[in-house]
């Protein structure tokens, strides 16, 4: 069996740091002779941490290991250059960049994709078929079996055009302002603890409110017309690391405003009033 190691970046405890070194040092030591591929997140969905993926990719490549980067949380917030990162694969979801659900993007280096067999059979992924042999189509068609999600791809294209018209630099500046403002306002809420305070973050704030379960926080906020996500965010090891069963998470985007941050803070006052 290939060796598989799961690490959530940006959450190295002081004890482990003292014993094993920094996160990148720990990461490099965990790549062994049986490691077939490294998969990591560009941005943590649970914490908002922007991980040093270029550095980690270089480390894996020094050991001859290819790297898949999950860019679902990065694509709507950061300018991504797959050539500069030198990642072998990069994936993100359409709905994270304001497009339709059920479609996304997978980038892969041509040499690796050429060497890989198709994982599905269907129209357009073959050049010729006889009883003696099958010849697969050229890239990218080899991996595009059957009728694609045409409407979804058109919608994704429109969403990308929308983001590009705004400009990712403007998006980043706006979200950075919201993150700083929200961090300041939420830090002043009695009994609130922000979970995940990395120096480099996307516009995501996870938090817990003392004595109140995040699910209850989310329920009251929902009644106030305020949308947050609650739960373990498909990242239970991170929750274990911080000693919480779940968090409430506010995510900010290009369409959010400071007024909505103020509404969140007011809503948390309502949570205290109802449940505190």
Q: Residue 71: which CATH number? A: 3.40.640.10
Give the tens place of pLDDT for each residue, 169-219.
Answer: 999 999 999 999 999 999 999 999 999 999 999 999 999 999 999 999 999
Global pTM value: 0.87
Give residues with Cβ within 8 angstroms of 208, minimum separation 6: 192, 193, 195, 214, 244, 247, 248
* 214 to 124, 150, 182, 260: CA distances (angstroms): 48, 39, 18, 19
137 found inside a domain: no
| Residue 245: closest CA among 196, 208, 197 | 208
Domain boundary among 69, 103, 137: 103
97 found inside a domain: yes
Residues 6 and 97 in one domain: yes
Give the tens place of pLDDT for each residue, 239-272.
Answer: 999 999 999 999 999 999 999 999 999 999 999 9
**What is the residue whose two structure tokens read 């990218």?**
140
pLDDT-above-70 percentage for the chain: 92
Quick one: average pLDDT of 107-125?
94
Is 148 buried (19+), middle (13-18) or exposed (0-12) by CB count in 10 A?
exposed
Flag the least confident range among 28-37, 77-86, 91-100. Answer: 28-37
Residues 97 and 185 in one domain: no
The tally of domains found in the chain comes to 2
Q: Is the pLDDT of residue 84 over 60?
A: yes
Residues 174 and 95 in one domain: no
pLDDT at 22: 65
Which of 234, 255, 259, 273 is catalytic? The answer is 234
Domain that holds residue 81: 1-103
pLDDT at 29: 87
152 found inside a domain: no
Q: Residue 235: which CATH number? A: 3.90.1150.10
160 found inside a domain: no
φ, ψ (nearest 5 deg) of residue 226: -115, 125
CB-CB contact of 160 with 105 (8 Å): no
Q: Is the pLDDT of residue 4 over 50?
A: no
Residues 186 and 267 in one domain: yes
215 found inside a domain: yes
182 found inside a domain: yes
172 found inside a domain: yes
149 found inside a domain: no
Residues 189 and 266 in one domain: yes
Domain boundary among 64, 80, 103: 103
Is 144 buried (19+), middle (13-18) or exposed (0-12) by CB count in 10 A?
middle
Give the tens place of pLDDT for each residue, 57-68.
Answer: 999 999 999 999
Q: Based on the residue annotation, tell me whether 234 is a catalytic residue of this protein.
A: yes
Taking the C-alpha atoms of residue 180 and residue 254, their distance in angstroms, rounded to an integer, is 14
Domain boundary among 103, 130, 159: 103
Q: Is the pLDDT of residue 6 over 70?
A: no
CB-CB contact of 119 with 143 (8 Å): yes
Round the average pLDDT of the chain to a whole number and report it. 91
């Amino acid at each position: 069996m290939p060796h598989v190691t799961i690490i959530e970046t940006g959450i190295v405890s002081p004890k482990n740091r003292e014993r094993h070194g920094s996160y990148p040092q720990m990461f490099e030591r965990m790549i062994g002779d049986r490691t077939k591929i490294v998969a990591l997140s560009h941005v943590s969905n649970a914490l908002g941490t922007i991980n040093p993926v270029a550095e980690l990719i270089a480390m894996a490549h020094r050991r001859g290991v290819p790297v898949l980067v999950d860019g679902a949380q990065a694509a709507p917030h950061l300018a991504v250059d797959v050539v500069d990162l030198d990642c072998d694969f990069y994936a993100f979801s359409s709905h994270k960049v304001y497009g339709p659900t059920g479609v996304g993007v997978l980038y892969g280096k041509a040499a690796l994709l050429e060497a890989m067999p198709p994982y599905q059979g269907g129209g357009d992924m073959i050049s010729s078929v006889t009883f003696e042999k099958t010849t697969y189509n050229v890239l990218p068609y080899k991996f595009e079996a059957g009728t694609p999600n045409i409407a979804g791809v058109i919608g994704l294209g429109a969403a990308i055009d929308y983001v590009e018209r705004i400009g990712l630099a403007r998006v980043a500046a706006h979200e950075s302002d919201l993150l700083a403002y929200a961090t300041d306002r939420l830090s002043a809420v009695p009994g609130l603890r922000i979970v995940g305070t990395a120096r480099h973050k996307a516009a995501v704030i996870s938090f817990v409110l003392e004595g109140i379960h995040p699910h209850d926080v989310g329920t009251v906020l929902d009644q106030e017309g305020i949308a947050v996500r609650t739960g373990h965010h498909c990242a239970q090891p991170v929750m274990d690391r911080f000693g919480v069963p779940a968090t409430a998470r506010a995510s900010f985007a290009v369409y959010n405003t400071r007024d909505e941050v103020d509404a969140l803070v007011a809503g948390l006052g309502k949570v205290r009033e109802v449940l505190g």
